[in-house]
Amino acid sequence: MIIKEKIIYEDASKKQFEGVVVWDDSHTGQKPGILVSHMWSGQSEFEVDKATELAKLGYVGFAIDNYGKGLRANHPEEAQKLMDVLDHDRPLLLSRMVLAVETLKKHKAVNAMKIGAIGFCFGGKCVLDLARSGADIKGVVSFHGLLDPPTPHPKKEIKSAVLVLHGWEDPMALPDAMVKLAHEMNQYNADWNVNIYGHAGHAFTNPKAKFRDKGLFFEPRSNKRSWHSMCYFLKEIFD
């Protein structure tokens, strides 16, 4: 049976965050845990659904909260303000990701030695920053993520495998950004792959994305192919 558990976790300042942990209790024993890092609007049913799909595959999905309990955007302007706080303070962003990792490791259903992370849009940036920090986790997957590195760069060897799933027409990170990321991954000795999807823009996994004129649109084939690529990647890193 699929179990969904809301959990409240805190940072050192006692700021509270609200996440959702999902697992299948018919799978015995502790399982690999996977963070699901949210889009710019904050944690939503989209991320919880992804955590649920991961649970069906035999993992523990954790739809994390990088903004704080109750901080969710209802309009693009609100989303931009919430994202900007972390986008302009990348050490703070990283601290929120590390907090989520440590929270997931402590969950009863999780094998703390097998941790990964996936992220969508802004969440893609979050999981890439986690990898850039040299975090000792198995791997990260960015779906149509924001690819720019933090300044200053942490200059750490990247220990986790990295998979970037990206649309060729993504206006938030054009092809030259993918090339820069590839050089960065090589420089810091990452085990990395980039899958590029033709005729796909930003948010290609989100059925609610319907702004083709702005380069934000759902693309069913790329959505399906990217999920299959993630599944193979996760199986490989956790074997």
Is residue 149 assigned to a domain?
yes
Tens digit of pLDDT for each residue in 120-164?
A: 999 999 999 999 999 999 999 999 999 999 999 999 999 999 999
- Low pLDDT (below 50) residues in the chain: none
Is residue 173 assigned to a domain?
yes
- HEC-encoded secondary structure of the chain: CEEEEEEEEECCCCCEEEEEEEEECCCCCCEEEEEEECCCCCCCHHHHHHHHHHHHCCCEEEECCCCCCCCCCCCHHHHHHHHHHHHCCHHHHHHHHHHHHHHHHCCCCEEEEEEEEEEECHHHHHHHHHHHCCCCCCEEEEECCCCCCCCCCCCCCCCCEEEEEEECCCCCCCHHHHHHHHHHHHHCCCCEEEEEECCCCECCCCCCCEEHHHCEECCHHHHHHHHHHHHHHHHHHHC
Euclidean distance between CA atoms 215 and 200, whole angstroms: 8
Is residue 5 assigned to a domain?
no
Q: How many domains does the chain have?
A: 1
Is residue 4 assigned to a domain?
no
The answer for residues whose C-beta is within 8 angstroms of residue 219's C-beta and 6 or more apart is: 167, 197, 199, 200, 201, 204
Contact 120, 206 (CB under 8 A): yes
Per-residue model confidence (pLDDT) at position 158: 98
Euclidean distance between CA atoms 68 and 36, whole angstroms: 15
Tens digit of pLDDT for each residue in 21-33?
A: 999 999 789 999 9
Is residue 77 assigned to a domain?
yes
CATH of the domain at 109: 3.40.50.1820
Side-chain-facing half-sphere of 28: CA atoms under 13 Å: 0
Tell me which residue of 115, 189, 178 sits closest to 156, measured CA to CA.
Answer: 189
Euclidean distance between CA atoms 141 and 80, whole angstroms: 23
Is residue 21 assigned to a domain?
yes
Per-residue model confidence (pLDDT) at position 27: 79
The answer for residues whose C-beta is within 8 angstroms of residue 102's C-beta and 6 or more apart is: none
Q: How many angstroms separate the first and last alpha carbons of the chain?
A: 24
For 115, the domain range is 16-238
Is residue 7 assigned to a domain?
no
The neighbour count for residue 136, using CB atoms within 10 Å, is 10
Distance of CA 50 to the CA centre of its chain: 11
Tell me which residue of 83, 69, 6, 20 sits closest to 49, measured CA to CA.
Answer: 20
Contact 22, 54 (CB under 8 A): yes
Is residue 3 assigned to a domain?
no
